[in-house]
């Protein structure tokens, strides 16, 4: 079963990349570690690039801002990419049956990302 971690989202860089504070429980010490200024990339969802002025880039970023900025979300971590970003599945409002990555795809604001594209 997947392990979920909490993230407090502090900044949305674009539709598929955001920054936040990763909260990691340490049960043996009865405490939580807080890793600030972490960068996260949605797994499998690729939104248009703002820097390239691609169509729907602004809308994708606004959609992501509306749903996760300044909120505590749940993530499943899948390691880091070549840029050092955490690759994540994102769940909002505690709904583990509704992956945020998929909502960007359903809204037509992203396409499925395949490694090497």
Go through the domains of the chain in sequence order and give each one's CATH number: 4-109 (2.40.50.90)
pLDDT average, residue stretch 24-38? 94
Q: pLDDT band at 115, cuts 50/70/90?
A: low
Mean pLDDT score across all residues of the chain: 94
In the 3-class helix/strand/coil scheme, how is the chain assigned residue by residue?
A: CCCEEEEEEEEEEECCEEEEEEEEEEHHHCEEEEEEEEEEEECCEECCCCCCCCCCHHHHHHHHHHHHCCCEEEEEEEEECCCCCEEEEEECCCCCCCEHHHHHHHCCCCEECCCCC
> Could you give the CA distance from residue 43 to residue 41 in angstroms, rounded to a whole number?
6
Per-residue pLDDT tens over the stretch 71-80: 999 999 999 9
Taking the model in full, what pTM does it have? 0.92
Six-digit token string for 58: 């602004």
CA atoms within 13 A on the CB side of 62: 5
Kindly tell me if the per-residue pLDDT of 2 is higher than 70: yes
Of 88, 115, 116, nearest to 102 by C-alpha is 88
């Amino acid at each position: 079963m997947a392990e979920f971690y909490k993230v407090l989202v502090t900044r949305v860089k674009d539709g598929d990349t955001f920054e936040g504070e990763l909260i990691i429980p340490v049960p043996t010490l009865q405490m939580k570690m807080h890793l600030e200024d972490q960068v996260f990339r949605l797994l499998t969802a690729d939104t248009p690039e703002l820097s390239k002025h691609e169509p729907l880039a602004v809308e994708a970023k606004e959609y992501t801002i509306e749903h996760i900025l300044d909120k505590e979300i749940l993530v499943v971590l899948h390691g880091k990419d070549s840029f050092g970003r955490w690759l994540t599945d994102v769940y909002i409002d505690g709904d583990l049956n509704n992956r945020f990555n998929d909502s960007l795809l359903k809204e037509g604001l992203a396409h499925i990302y395949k490694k090497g594209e």
